[in-house]
Amino acid sequence: MSSSTTLHIWEERAAAMRFSNQAIINGKPVTGDGPLMQAINPATGQILTELASCSKDNIDQAVASARSAFESGVWSQMPRQERKKRMLRLAELITEHTDELALLETLNMGKPISDSLAYDIPETARTYAWYAECIDKQYDEIAPTDADSLATITREPLGVVAAVVPWNYPLLMASWKVAPALAAGNSVILKPAEQSPLSAIRLGELALKAGIPAGVLNIVPGTGPVAGQALGLHMDVDCLAFTGSTATGKRFMEYSGQSNLKQIWLECGGKSPHIIFDDCPDLDRAAMAAAIGIFNNQGEVCIAGSRLYVQSGIYDVFMEKLEQCAIKMQPGNPLDPASMMGAIVDERQLARVMQYVESGKQEGATLRMGGARAHHDSGGFYLEPTIFEVANQTLTIVQEEIFGPVLAVSRFDTEEEVLAQANASHYGLGSGLWTADLSRAHRVSRKLRAGLVWVNCYFDGDVSVPFGGVKQSGFGRDKSLHALDKYTSLKSTWFKLQ
Ligand code: NAD
């Protein structure tokens, strides 16, 4: 099948698509009390559908339904085999609906359909399946107390968990929170981002179909300042797991202090350094990884390698190779399976990214390629892959998270110099380095202040491996068994033995 034929098929499917557009509270569709929101297709600027926006009252209803489901034990006390079976069924349903869910992600936030199909949806399904499998495989502890007593340390679900998530990987980011929270026995309220609510609503429908009882997974589309804030300030939400910008993450810390001291877990922004040493074992692979590291998903990736550091001895040859890779990643129609980059999520984000491009030019960075909008006639929000060369680390484009396809490249001479530059950031999420020297790989990866380090690769990941940051990139870890710590509390029980 040629790519244009396939594009045609996806366009037909998109035209025939019907969107679920209501909140799901206590297992029922609910027309939110807030003003209707619009879901926009970033590839065309056209409205896909209008949809519910939850008010504070709707959030109160969702929390009440989650609490009541939790207290009833319908999920929290369900036999483990049964809870596991239903979560596995949800994973199967996600897989069965791969095409539909992939299309929803692509239409709603502009990522290439090939990425939605190959990555977002399979990884989402795998995340639910992986945590489902944990349900009957985790043991509690007995402390080494003296012979006259027994102290058990047991994990208990927290109760009502709220998840507030961004738009860049709508279903996948949600799954990293919803799946472990459900597996632990909690009831969950998911608030998708305003830009990308459609797949979350569909997830809520599939969860009901999988047998996850009403009230256990509520979906509350709505705005951050109304629905997000109402969850943050709610007196009966026990835990709030957030992925999004550092600025909003800080608000959630305040909401917690102003309300019930709910646990807050933050996966926030990043400005990840990607370092290429002179002895890089494979310059071609590193150049492709550097390009994918910033242009994949239109650069709307929290772990994007947005600060590239290239050692002087290979700088010129590496930049040539990088440019060749970047040229291949021009933005195209997200429904075309041949597109490697799609459209920026909305007009506001595009304007924000363009402001950074302007600031790069004005502050003296050298524009090596890109920097302009593309496909104006489509009505969509496209930007060329953009590479700046910088001589000064204080530039705004080096310091601030852009969340778009804009790379700042610096030349360096020594390991000490590049480590100081790499760590000179408020953020500490991802980082990468390429070297053939094993000792250097260990030395540098230990000194990088980041939650994730990739050595001779970039972006590798698996649900079994923790994901998260340090400094203002947040705290707590998504993925792996460690994520379960966020959604459980430890109970210590003493038994006096006679
Ligand atoms: P955002 O902070 O604007 O929004 C994220 C979520 O918070 C949305 O659901 C939004 O409705 C809600 N929100 C916004 N303002 C709020 C408020 N005042 N009160 C309560 N809730 C509010 O972020 P975004 O633009 O959607 O996403 C981009 C950001 O997400 C980037 O900074 C990116 O790095 C970060 N991100 C981080 C990770 C990670 O794992 N560390 C992953 C993906 C994205």
Given this model, what pLDDT does residue 43 score? 98
Whole-angstrom Cα distance, residue 244 to residue 433? 25
Mean pLDDT of 77-81: 98
Kindly list the catalytic residues: 267, 302
Q: Could you tell me the two tokens for 40?
A: 């926009």
* Cβ atoms < 10 Å from Cβ of 30: 18
Which residue, among 422, 421, 420, has the nearest Cα to 430 in the 3D structure? 422
Given this model, what pLDDT does residue 1 score? 45
Q: What is the mean pLDDT of the chain?
A: 97
Given this model, what pLDDT does residue 159 score? 98
Q: Is the CB of 188 under 6 A from ligand 1?
A: no
Mean pLDDT of 157-171: 98
Q: Is the CB of 342 under 6 A from ligand 1?
A: no
* Residue 472 clears pLDDT 80, i.e. is over it: yes
The minimum-distance atom of ligand 1 relative to the CA of 270 is 34
Given this model, what pLDDT does residue 278 score? 98
pLDDT in tens, 178-193: 999 999 999 999 999 9
Mean pLDDT of 116-124: 98
Q: Could you tell me the two tokens for 3?
A: 């790519």
Q: What are the Cα distances from residue 339, in Å, to 52, 98, 298, 427, 459?
A: 32, 19, 11, 31, 19
* Residue 234 clears pLDDT 90, i.e. is over it: yes
Given this model, what pLDDT does residue 2 score? 52
The minimum-distance atom of ligand 1 relative to the CA of 247 is 2
pLDDT in tens, 374-421: 999 999 999 999 999 999 999 999 999 999 999 999 999 999 999 999
* Cβ atoms < 10 Å from Cβ of 93: 18
Please report which confidence band the pLDDT of residue 54 belongs to, taking 50, 70 and 90 as the band edges. Answer: very high
Please report which confidence band the pLDDT of residue 3 belongs to, taking 50, 70 and 90 as the band edges. Answer: low
Given this model, what pLDDT does residue 371 score? 98
Q: Is the CB of 164 under 6 A from ligand 1?
A: yes
The pick from 248, 253, 254, 349 for probing ligand 1's pocket by mutation, whose C-beta has the most ligand atoms within 8 angstroms, reads: 248
Q: Is the CB of 191 under 6 A from ligand 1?
A: yes
Strand segments, DSSP code E, in 177-248 are: 187-191, 217-219, 239-243
Whole-angstrom Cα distance, residue 389 to residue 407? 8
pLDDT in tens, 13-23: 999 999 999 99
pLDDT in tens, 249-266: 999 999 999 999 999 999
